[in-house]
Structures are given as structure tokens and as C-alpha cells.
Amino acid sequence: METAMPAPHQVISGACVQGVAPFAGHRTHSAPGLPPLARQPAGDGGAPAARAAPGSGAVQGTVHTGHRRVVPARQAAGCRRGCRADGLDWASVAKEAASGKVYLHPHRDVLGRPVVVIHVRKHVMGASPGADSQRLCAWILDAALAALPPGQECVLGIFDLKGFSLQNADLGFARFLVDALFTYYPRRLGQAVLVDPPWAFQPGWSVVKPWLGKYGDLVRVCSARQVGVEYFQPGTAPSGFGPS
């Protein structure tokens, strides 16, 4: 099941390196604490490094362009502690994860990138404290980076927008996510796929898109079928994506 993640045995946490926020220019060397769902199944070696990213005109080595916002280590650590991202374990985010709003897919995409799937319709404003959503976001992103295979530096984000309504238009959390990508995970987003966005998504997107800066070049809009066909080997796409 997508949300049935057993508790990891160790804490997943980043550390500030040379004044840059966690995971800026380095990767976790091992991931013994990842739950089984976050580990790559045996036998899936991913795609050659020079393969072009689906929906882009670039080879893999150039798709992770974007801002690299360098902040003092003290500031980064303080902000990270503000949402209690340091020292997180699965038990601390399991309740929020039970909503099914976000999970780390057990299969990588065709480029070998860990895949984070976000069902935006399941993120309802006011349904849970914003800090809980922020901690879950940090836990999932750290887990995805810990699952990076050798030679890969980026993560694929799939934003499932089917069923989106105004109660899901949480601009405050969107601002947090954008800031987190800039500050704590620079150059770690390979591509963000917006899947089947309805008309109700457009007003909020017009606000969020300028925040992305050059990261906006990494955003692609496509259908659920395209995601399954173009981004995954047969039989490995997330549930609800791909040919029916």
C-alpha cells in the first residue's frame, strides 16, 4: 500500500556542509534507516545517465538547473529546527502520512530518479497543523535523497492534481515547499510534473509560478497516462498512472 510505511530503524537527517543547507552538493552515502517502501526493488538498475528526461529537451546531466541559494549554516539550522526537520523519524510523521497525501514510490523512474508522489486533493487546508505537513515534507524529501543511486542527484516530483478544489489551494504550504527546495535541497529537483490540473488550479498556480524562478523550467504539465508511459518502465508506475 502506498502509505503503509513501517518505522525506519534510524533517524534520517541532513547536516549543513560548508555553510550550505543540507544536501547541497552532497548525498547520503547509505540509507539503512529507510523503510522498505523507500528502497529500490532489486533488479531495477534505472536508465543510462545520458538519457533525456521525459518532456524535456535536455540530457539528464542538465535537467537539474535552478537557483542555488546559499545561506549561513546557523540560519539554515535554525530554520530547519523551526519545523523540527532535524532528528525526524517515521513515528513522528506517520499520523500525517496516513492521509495518503504524499509518499515515496517504491520504483524509480526511467532515469533512475527516486519518485515522490503528491496527491494534492488529499491536502486539505485546516485538516491538520501546518507544521505537521512541513515535517512530513522534510521527512519524505530526506528519504528520497537517501534513496539516490550512485551517479544520480535528482528527484522526480509528481503532483497529482486530479480532483483539486479550492480547499486544496494552500499557498502557505506551497511557499514553504518552494523555500525548502531553494534553501535545503538546491539542484535536487529533476522535474516537477503537474498531472491533469483542472481550471480551479490556475489562479493559485499564477501566484506560485513566479516564486519558482528558474525552477519553473523544470515544470511540465501532462496527463496521468503520459506519466505512466513516459516516466516508468511497464508495471512500475504509481497506481492511477498509465494506460488503463
pLDDT tens digits, 51-103: 455 655 433 332 232 333 333 333 344 444 444 455 677 888 999 999 999 99
Set out the domains of the chain in order of their start, with CATH numbers: 68-231 (3.40.525.10)
- Percent of the chain at pLDDT exceeding 90: 59
Mean pLDDT score across all residues of the chain: 74
Continuous segment of H or E residues that includes residue 220: strand 219-222
Specify the pLDDT at position 59.
Answer: 30
**Residue 219: C-alpha distances to residues 66, 67, 75, 191 (Å):** 12, 14, 28, 6
Sign of CA dihedral 40, 46, 51, 57: negative
What is the C-alpha separation between 149 and 108, in angstroms, rounded? 10
Query: How confident is the model over 116-143, as a mean pLDDT?
Result: 94
Query: How confident is the model over 122-141, as a mean pLDDT?
Result: 93
Where helices occur in 61-152 by DSSP H, the ranges are: 73-82, 90-97, 130-146
Specify the pLDDT at position 49.
Answer: 33
Is the pTM here over 0.95, yes or no? no
Specify the pLDDT at position 242.
Answer: 83
Q: Provide the pLDDT confidence category of residue 22 given band limits of 50, 70 and 90.
A: very low
Q: Report the b/e string of 173-186 with b at 16+ CB within 10 A.
A: bbebbeebbbbbbb
Specify the pLDDT at position 24.
Answer: 31
Specify the pLDDT at position 20.
Answer: 26
Residues 27-40 have pLDDT tens digits of 333 333 333 333 33
Q: Provide the pLDDT confidence category of residue 243 given band limits of 50, 70 and 90.
A: confident
Specify the pLDDT at position 64.
Answer: 31
Continuous segment of H or E residues that includes residue 160: strand 155-160
